[in-house]
Each structure stands twice: as structure tokens, then as C-alpha cells.
Amino acid sequence: MPKISRRTLLKSAAVVGAYGAGVGLAGRFGMAKAAAHPITLEAVKRDAVIVGNEATHSVLTYESAGLNVGPMPPLLRLTRGEPFAAQLKNSIDEPTTIHWHGLRIPNAMDGVPFLTQPYVYTGDTFDYAFTPPDAGTFWYHPHCNTLTQMGHGMTGVLVVEDPDDPVFDAEIVLNLRDWRLGGDGQFIAQFKPRDAAKSGTYGTVRTANWAVEPTHDAPAGGLVRLRLAVTDVTRIYTLKLVGADALIMAIDGQPLPVGEPLDTAVISPGQRLDLIIRMPDDEGAIVKLEDIRPSTPKVVANFRAVGTSLKRNLGDAPTFRPNAPVEADFSTATAIPLVLSATAENAAKESFCGSLGYSFWAINKVPWPGDSDDPTAPLAELKLGQTYLLNMENVTPHAHPIHLHGMNFQVVSSSNGPVAPLVSDTYLIMPDEKVQLALVADNLGDWVFHCHIIEHQKTGMTGYFRVI
Ligand SMILES: [Cu+2]
């Protein structure tokens, strides 16, 4: 990480005018109407106990008065259609920003250095303000030196409530992530180049809400809404629930038309899952949420039935109000080929936003050179309101959770078999898979499109679309 000088600040300030086609253009999503009372999210470095009794040094997190429960970034609760405002205060020793993952908000609020906003330097602030158009489970994280900043803790869950959300007997929100810690509880190297060139470098300690195998109490015989967000930089989970039945109600914040019985669910970095669990009737019974990928089950979290059974029926769980559909016009759609590949290994350009020093991956043969004030050309220029078909092909032997900022797509078809017409912002494309995603370019600006295995993102598997 190079030192950032004030001279660089002035240089980057000079190109502020180029940022954010969203500035002054309300678009269909609108800027926040009346200013909401802003919360403060202060990026801080501190000690925190993650595993055992010893404090881990150099943990990075967000602090917000009255909202934190422990050292984890606070769970933010917004309301669909109501203005939200947060002032980022940077108290860590390098630049940062906040990206609001999965929220369809104006480009100027998207938090990507150079493409949508300037760096927020140490000691500086940045005011985010927007009105979330969709309800669901989302999350937030930096988009600067992300492997370090996210790897050291800066990943928080964000819930957008709908005033019409059905009420359940309990709600539990879990932030699923790993840590790269050595036996002494201190951070070890965040990645290994040979792993970055494969499926990524896995954490050594798994947590849910920054706790190893936590147990949460829930009413016996009750219906519990479980919101899960995978905020890890690498790990893909295959989740299974042992000891209770559950319905999948929403994927990536988007409600399903009807709840689907949970068998196993694959959920990758960037993705979210909303479940309704029917807790056992017997007081003290334990339900286990397990990760069975690749084979030996690992406990992610436990849920303990407490009290006298409420005797609910899972079949009575009400569905959620849908978010806006992707209104694709297939008759006028333009196809955009997107080939995800490895690239000839070479050194990446130095980047203020943290280069890993390698380039292993590419989209359409172009490895992202790193965040800079001279980025590569967009993957494509999209016309506002037009429908596009992203014909994405993974010619690598690894899975990639590909994330699009600012807009949703609809899954149309896959070479791997029948697909549900899911609406999402993140698609886990498997090795050798070809998938077709329909996208309506309904939000102006430059929108990043990248793999959410952060080592892949940072070593080339990144690009952006420009909506004009
Ligand atoms: Cu990837």
C-alpha cells in the first residue's frame, strides 16, 4: 500500500467532475428527498477478540454510536422508500470508501474510487445519502484495498425493511465470514499467490457474527426469519440445516414467489439468503446450520429452542412482497459476450487502492489493471432503458461469484440445466458454465462488474459497464 500524499489528493480532486453521472440526475431511483438524520460510520482500527481469549490486533471495523453490538460493524436497518444518510469518517491509516452491495442507488453513492467518487482519506469524511428502492438483506463494505480492509473486518450486514414485511416469532441476522489468523490469534498473510490463481486463499477461523459456532436462542415451535449474508472474501458455502425444516424465502434480497423447502443451498461471497426456520417443539433442542462444502460438515451456527412450543406450521409462513422485476424487452435485446478467463501471469500496475502485485484473471481477455484515475475502457456502453443479454462464459476451472453494481439482472438460461428466473446482483458461475443474464440498463453511470472472490477481483477479474 503506497503512502497517499496530499498532492495525490489534489490530483484526484481535480477529476471529481468526472465522477458519478448520478450527480444531479435523480433517475428513476431518485436521490434522497428530505435529508435523513445521518448516522456516522467511523472506520477504525482496534483490538478485538475473534477466537479464544487473546485479542487480535489491527482489526478494522465500523463504529456507529448506539448501533454496534460488540466490535462487529453494526447491523444497519433501513426502510424501503425512506431516505437514509450515513457519514463515513475515515479514522484508519489509508483511504477507504463504502459500497452498498445490492442496493440500486445513484451512481455517486456507489462507493467505487475513481469511477464514482474520490478517495476518502484519513481524517476526511464522505456523506452518503440515498433511498433504498428494494427491501431485503444486503450488506456494505469498502471498495478500496478491499482484500485487507474486508479481510480485517470491514463487512457489515444491511437490512432494508418493508413496512409490509410479515412478522415472525424471531429474527436472527448472521454475518458469515472467515479470518486469516495464526495460532497466536494474529493476522497472517491475507493471500497466497498460488491460491489467488486458483479458488482463492481460505480463512483459518470461521465465524458467524464474529463468533465461532455461536448459539442463538429462538422460541420453541416458532417461525424464525434467518437472514444470512456471506461477506467473506473467498469462501463459498453449501449450507444445510440439521434438526429443523426451513423454507428459502429470498435469495440475494429478492423474494421467491413461494417459499422453497431447504435441502442444501449454495451461497457464495456477496450473496444473501433469507430462510424461515420452524424451531423444534422441545425446549433445549438444538438446530445446527452446517457448511458441508467440500465434504466434512462444519457448524456455522446453532439455534436453541427456548420456552413452551408456539406450535407454528411452516406452511403458514407468509411470502414476502416482491421487489421490482427486471422488465426485459427480449425483442430488442442486445447481446454482450463476457468471457471469464485466466490471463498470462504478469505484474499488475501499482494502485493506490491496493494492488496484490499480480494479474491472474481477465474479462474478455482484459485483466483489470487496478483502480486508477485512468481506468480501462468499459466492457460495454449501455443505453438507458435498453435491454441487454449478458452471455457470460466461464472458461476457468474455478467458480466465480460475479457481482454487478447498481442494477439487477434476471437469470435466463444456463448450460448447466434449467434455471429459475431469479433476479439478483450476484451470480455464481460454475466452471465451463455458460449463462445468459437479462439486464435492463436503468441506472445511469459507471457500474463495476467483478468477481466477489476478492483475490480474483484484485488480480484482474473486474470491469465495468457505462450506462449513458
Ligand atoms: Cu472469481
Residue 158 pLDDT > 60, yes or no? yes
Residue showing cell 484495498: 145
CA distances from 185 to 12, 47, 48, 52, 177 (A): 38, 11, 10, 8, 16
At 31, is the pLDDT very low, low, confident or very high (cuts 50, 70, 90)? very low
CA 13 – ligand 1 centroid, Å: 32
Apex CA 128: angle with CA 323 and CA 179, to 5°?
80
CA 462 – ligand 1 centroid, Å: 9
CA 60 – ligand 1 centroid, Å: 24
Residue 293 pLDDT > 80, yes or no? yes
CA 199 – ligand 1 centroid, Å: 7
Residue 24 pLDDT > 50, yes or no? no
356 versus 37: which is more confidently predicted?
37
Residue 313 cell numbers, joined = 406450521
CA 198 – ligand 1 centroid, Å: 9
At 21, is the pLDDT very low, low, confident or very high (cuts 50, 70, 90)? very low
CA 35 – ligand 1 centroid, Å: 38
CA 253 – ligand 1 centroid, Å: 21
CA 448 – ligand 1 centroid, Å: 14
CA 357 – ligand 1 centroid, Å: 17
Return the percentage of the chain with pLDDT > 70, whole number.
88
pLDDT at position 277: 98
CA 401 – ligand 1 centroid, Å: 6
Which residues are paired to 446 by β-bridges? 466
CA 456 – ligand 1 centroid, Å: 5
> Considering Cα of 346, then 348, then 350, then 354, what sign does the dihedral take?
negative
What is the rounded average pLDDT of the residues 262-283? 98
Q: Measure the CA–CA gap between 4 and 319, rounded to whole angstroms.
A: 49
CA 226 – ligand 1 centroid, Å: 27
CA 247 – ligand 1 centroid, Å: 29
Residue 108 pLDDT > 70, yes or no? yes
Residue 29 pLDDT > 50, yes or no? no
Q: Measure the CA–CA gap between 71 and 154, rounded to whole angstroms.
A: 11
At 193, is the pLDDT very low, low, confident or very high (cuts 50, 70, 90)? confident
CA 100 – ligand 1 centroid, Å: 20
Apex CA 169: angle with CA 168 and CA 171, to 5°?
70
CA 368 – ligand 1 centroid, Å: 13
* Domains identified in the chain and CATH numbers: 6-161 (2.60.40.420), 170-316 (2.60.40.420), 330-467 (2.60.40.420)
CA 453 – ligand 1 centroid, Å: 5
CA 398 – ligand 1 centroid, Å: 7
Residue 216 pLDDT > 70, yes or no? yes
Residue 368 pLDDT > 90, yes or no? no
CA 363 – ligand 1 centroid, Å: 11
Residue 5 pLDDT > 50, yes or no? no
CA 356 – ligand 1 centroid, Å: 15
CA 457 – ligand 1 centroid, Å: 7
Residue 86 pLDDT > 60, yes or no? yes
At 30, is the pLDDT very low, low, confident or very high (cuts 50, 70, 90)? very low
CA 455 – ligand 1 centroid, Å: 8
CA 286 – ligand 1 centroid, Å: 35
> Considering Cα of 105, then 438, then 272, then 295, what sign does the dihedral take?
negative
At 194, is the pLDDT very low, low, confident or very high (cuts 50, 70, 90)? confident
Amino acid at 199: S
459 versus 389: which is more confidently predicted?
389
Residue 355 pLDDT > 50, yes or no? yes
What is the rounded average pLDDT of the residues 160-171? 95
pLDDT at position 89: 98
CA 55 – ligand 1 centroid, Å: 32
CA 282 – ligand 1 centroid, Å: 43
Q: Measure the CA–CA gap between 226 and 172, rounded to whole angstroms.
A: 5
pLDDT at position 347: 57
CA 450 – ligand 1 centroid, Å: 8
At 8, is the pLDDT very low, low, confident or very high (cuts 50, 70, 90)? very low
CA 211 – ligand 1 centroid, Å: 26
At 36, is the pLDDT very low, low, confident or very high (cuts 50, 70, 90)? confident
Residue 194 has phi, psi (to 5 degrees) of -70, -25
451 versus 19: which is more confidently predicted?
451
pLDDT in tens, 45-74: 999 999 999 999 999 999 999 999 999 999
Residue 18 pLDDT > 50, yes or no? no
Residue 28 pLDDT > 50, yes or no? no
Which stretches of 81-182 are assigned E, i.e. beta strand? Answer: 84-90, 99-101, 125-130, 136-141, 156-161, 170-179
What is the per-residue burial (b if ≥16 Cβ within 10 Å, else e) of 401-439?
A: bbbbbbbbbbbbbbeeeeeeeebbbbbbbeeebebbbbb
- Strands 205-208, 254-261: pairing kind: unpaired
12 versus 117: which is more confidently predicted?
117
At 264, is the pLDDT very low, low, confident or very high (cuts 50, 70, 90)? very high
CA 201 – ligand 1 centroid, Å: 12
What is the rounded average pLDDT of the residues 282-287? 98
- Non-local CB neighbours of 321 within 8 Å, separated by 6+ positions: 135, 162, 164, 165, 255
CA 220 – ligand 1 centroid, Å: 40
Residue 354 pLDDT > 90, yes or no? no
CA 399 – ligand 1 centroid, Å: 6
Average pLDDT of the chain is 89
171 neighbors 227 (Cβ within 8 angstroms): yes
pLDDT at position 353: 63
pLDDT at position 361: 78
pLDDT at position 3: 34
443 neighbors 458 (Cβ within 8 angstroms): no
CA 464 – ligand 1 centroid, Å: 15
pLDDT at position 198: 85
CA 105 – ligand 1 centroid, Å: 25
Closest CA to 83 of 142, 29, 164: 29
What is the rounded average pLDDT of the residues 341-348? 69
Residue showing cell 434438526: 243
34 versus 321: which is more confidently predicted?
321
CA 382 – ligand 1 centroid, Å: 24
pLDDT at position 182: 96
Question: Which H or E run contains 182?
Answer: none
